[in-house]
Amino acid sequence: MSLLDLLKTISAIMGMLTVLSVIVLSLTLLERKFIGRIQMRKGPNRVGPFGLLQPVADAIKLVAKEDILPTWVDKVIYWVSPLVVFIPTFMIWVTIPVARDVVIRNLDMGLFYIIAFSVLSIVGLISAGWASANKYAIIGGFRAAAQLISYEIPIILSVLAIAMLAGSLNLERIVDAQATKPYIFLQPLGAFLFLCGGLAELGRTPFDIHPAESEVVGGPFVEYSGAHWSVFFLAEYINTFAIAALTTLLFLGGWLFPGLPGNVTASGVLVFLTKTYLVVLVIFWFRGTYPRLRIDQLMSLGWKVLVPLGFINVVVTAVALKTELPEIILGLISFVILASTFWIISVRMRTAPKPEYTVRLYDPSLEGLNAR
């Protein structure tokens, strides 16, 4: 590698860091505004026009805050953990294309690389929990480990089916393969699995079990403050954006949109960002409406529902490719499996005694005072 190449790469990485930081700022504002609207509040609106400078104020506050080092922490691990979480989340972005050729390094093994690096940040969460010498933090750290590892599998399986369809692990080629049909039409089941697993990997509602603030008060992050906490925060939002971006690339056709030229960078970036922000809004929407699952319910959902569905998805896709079924039939099969899963769940819900009948008005004419 020549010196010029090195310089180019370094400047690209610096550019990426800047762009991602700005995106994180926009995400925090977007989340607060959006959830504020869901909750009939206005959200931040004091700092700058429409509260646009709120994220900047937040950032300044976080950096200026005292960085507390509790007495009993394991100092080295405590300081290193945020970085262990932070670095892999950035490394993923090296190979995520924003438009055609707008990428730092387009790897042929791109998907593989992303999957491999996204798991790494778990180590940081566990070590953060352990080093904090706090019981809530340790519980949170182990919750994170269990949750993230088990939800990696449905993600891998759904991505595997995509790779089989596209015949490549290169993200640009996967997008190109969706020129006529986004994979969400061929793989609705896969898209569901990916988004579900992705939410769990991010630790966002309804799977926000490791930072559950009403139980373990922030989980692994409970002892962190100031700049070190903000590093975790940054990583979380970049991950959110990464999952949304991957959903866009793998299932929604990336920067392609009917009627718009796929080769023009500006329109490509615009289309990509629009789609990604829409997916992000869906993720925020879940946060505004859903309660949190319990850890055992989360595990059983992962292992008993999502993982088998993932395998079915892979097998169906493989058989369809081998027998050269028309794509529309593959899409239909996938959709039917997804719909029947929902149907089974709703039937089980319906056959269970309906809760409203367990609470009724007491009628003294029907029973004595102590009927039970």
Chain residues binding another protein by CB under 8 A are 35, 38-41, 135-136, 139, 142-143, 205-206, 208-209, 212-217, 287-297, 345, 349, 355-364, 369-372
Shortest CB 365 distance to another protein, Å = 12
Residue 354 neighbours by CB under 8 Å, 6+ apart: none
**279 versus 301: smaller Cβ distance to another protein:** 301
Shortest CB 363 distance to another protein, Å = 8
Other Cβ atoms within 10 Å of 291 Cβ, number: 7
Residue 156 C-beta-side C-alpha neighbours within 13 Å: 15
Q: Tokens at residue 305, please?
A: 């529902």
Contact status, residue 144 vs residue 220, Cβ threshold 8 Å? yes
Q: Which residues on adjacent β-strands are paired with residue 102?
A: 99
What residue type is 199 in one-letter code? L
Shortest CB 300 distance to another protein, Å = 10
**216 versus 252: smaller Cβ distance to another protein:** 216
Shortest CB 343 distance to another protein, Å = 14
Shortest CB 239 distance to another protein, Å = 20
Q: Tokens at residue 92, please?
A: 């993923």
Query: Between the CA of residue 73 and those of 68, 82, 156, 160, what are the distances in Å?
Result: 11, 14, 35, 41
Q: Alpha-carbon distance 72 to 60, whole Å? A: 28
Shortest CB 200 distance to another protein, Å = 13
**322 versus 350: smaller Cβ distance to another protein:** 350
Shortest CB 154 distance to another protein, Å = 18
Residue 117 neighbours by CB under 8 Å, 6+ apart: 88, 91, 92
**66 versus 296: smaller Cβ distance to another protein:** 296
What residue type is 170 in one-letter code? N
Q: Tokens at residue 345, please?
A: 């769940």
**114 versus 216: smaller Cβ distance to another protein:** 216
Q: Which of 17, 28, 69 is nearest to 227 (CA)?
A: 69
Q: Tokens at residue 184, please?
A: 């969400």
Q: Which residues on adjacent β-strands are paired with residue 99?
A: 102
